[in-house]
Structure 1
Amino acid sequence: MFSGQLFVFFCVFVLGSVVGSFLNVCIYRIPLGQSIVYPASHCFKCITPLRWYHNIPIVSFVLLHGRCAFCDEPFSWRYPAVEALNGFLYCLVFHYARFSAVSLVLFLFVSILVVVAFIDIDHQIIPDVITLPGIVIGFICSFALPWVSWVDSLLGVLIGGGSLFCVAFLYELLAKKEGMGGGDIKLLAMIGAFCGWRVILPVVFLSSLLGTMVGVPLMWARKRDSGMALPFGPFLVFGTLIYLFWGDILVQWYLSFFYI
């Protein structure tokens, strides 16, 4: 019985890592305005198309020692990392939702979040081509999710996007400079579309806490001032994933401080 469960989770991890290989393509090409379908995967130095056995997630990277099979150009460790991360997230989704329509929706959602996070890390942008369709898809998926109605989803879009818009507007008004991009606003609106309006406050709180914990030491280490640009998208993504999988545990832990 236990070995059977391990095999199922292994298959889910493989599925996630295969999708993660495609996510690497999206992360690289979408900010450049390139097609995510054509041309096929190739080495960026010698432009030689990779064979199918050079594209086996994680395994090919290990067997080829992280280098191109044709010109020996080193590949970034990010490729297997994204594949493994997406596989791990798929296993978490399957642990909570098993075989259901909910799993399919959450597979899509977490993969979108992975793409958004890494693009924002690399380019400090969150492309509208991801978040705007994501808002629509999240609203449509609300009809298949048990914890969010279409009303909750719509309110999530309005409250999620509206709350960050107000924060960004007030910051720009007081500081006389832009502190939060429109991509973050649309990202939180998309998160609200998938998860409903009730997650907005906890996600913003977790994201801000994580941003502070990472940003302050980073600025101190780099001896930079408080105006150092730090993409907020990855923290929104991380905060969403934490709340998505462990939100109930965190709420119970927080409420335990008030029990007599």
Structure 2
Amino acid sequence: MDGYSVAAVFAVLFGLAIGSFLNVLIHRLPLGKSIVTPPSSCPHCGARLRVYDNIPILSYLILRGKCRSCRCPISPQYPIVEGLTAALSLALFIKFGPTLQYILFFLFCAALEVISLIDLHHRIIPDVLSLPGVLCGLVAALLLGHISFISSLVGAIAGGGSLLLVAFVYERLTGRTGMGGGDIKLLAMIGAWLSAWSLPLVVLIASLVGALTGLAFILASGEGFRTRIPFGPFLSLAAVIYLFFGPLITRWYVGLLS
């Protein structure tokens, strides 16, 4: 294989390894547990995982999705997260090549992945991810120059401020909380990484996908509009879509209007 192919394989392996660590974050952060100790173990029987039982995706397939010790089922979320992280790593490598931009945007996407899964499971977005994510977005603008620092700063302020205004107006009109503080900080983080110009399209995509998904959940659950749908995963998905296809979608939309 040539050098580019070897680097692409490394990007996949790197994504698999980081995906395994993301599973630890997804499980432990909402519970307030250390992400360092104790070592990985079965959530059912507490048996520590051997090194060869902790190989991303492969171990899950060999064990047929069950713990070696107690034979209880292992959530398919583990290989899904590992595979998705590997796919994101490869896609970002193809887009940016072996550059600092690839590394930093991979960390951005990995953070969005963790935020999405935690929000789905617990209906929270940890400040320990979103607030440092805003600062990292500002630093990335300085290091990469993909957007100006001012654009990054305005994106953070506009992202957080716009959802804060929406939440304030909704609560005034209905007397109910409609937008969590975590979503506000998440959009501030996305704005810091992708600039204020990305926000209209990100919010539009998130709203459309969220509305369709929410309608499906409402019909399936039978709880009517009392069903609470986390918005964080849709904001995260929209941010990744914008990262890869934002300019293309914008040109298509402008061409459609003209």
Q: TM-score range by the shorter chain?
A: over 0.9
Distance 2:167 2:187 in 1: 13
* Deviation, structure 1 residue 193: 1.3
Q: Which residue in 2 is equivalent to 1:73?
A: 72
Q: TM-score, normalised by structure 1?
A: 0.95
Partner AA of 2:232 in structure 1: G
Partner AA of 2:71 in structure 1: D
* Deviation, structure 1 residue 14: 1.3
Q: Which residue in 2 is equivalent to 1:226?
A: 225
Give SS of 1:40's match: coil
Deviations 1:12-45 (A, max 9, x none): 1111011000000000000000001110001122
Distance 1:28 1:171 in 2: 32
TM-align CA RMSD: 1.4
Give SS of 2:224's match: coil
Q: Which residue in 2 is equivalent to 1:123?
A: 122
Q: TM-score, normalised by structure 2?
A: 0.96
**Residue segments in structure 2 that go unaligned for 5+ positions in a row:** none
Establish whether residue 98 from structure 1 lines up as the match of residue 110 from structure 2: no
Establish whether residue 170 from structure 1 lines up as the match of residue 206 from structure 2: no
Distance 1:121 1:35 in 2: 21
Q: Which residue in 1 is equivalent to 2:141?
A: 142
Deviations 1:119-169 (A, max 9, x none): 000000001111111111211111122321111111111000000000011
Q: Which residue in 2 is equivalent to 1:114?
A: 113
Pairwise mapping of residues 173-184 of structure 1 onto structure 2 (< 5 A)?
173-184=172-183
Give SS of 1:142's match: helix
Contact 2:159-2:196 at 8 Å conserved across structures: yes
Deviations 1:52-110 (A, max 9, x none): 11111001100111111122121000000000001111111111110111111101100
**Residue segments in structure 1 that go unaligned for 5+ positions in a row:** none
Give SS of 1:255's match: helix
Distance 1:192 1:145 in 2: 15
Partner AA of 1:185 in structure 2: I
* Deviation, structure 1 residue 5: 4.6
Q: Which residue in 1 is equivalent to 2:22?
A: 23
Q: Which residue in 2 is equivalent to 1:42?
A: 41
Give SS of 1:218's match: helix
Contact 2:7-2:98 at 8 Å conserved across structures: no
Moved more, 209-218 or 23-32: 209-218
Query: Which runs of at least 4 in structure 1 moved beyond 6 Å after TM superposition?
Result: none
Partner AA of 2:81 in structure 1: V
Contact 2:198-2:246 at 8 Å conserved across structures: no
Establish whether residue 253 from structure 1 lines up as the match of residue 236 from structure 2: no
Give SS of 2:226's match: coil
* Deviation, structure 1 residue 6: 4.5
* Deviation, structure 1 residue 222: 2.3
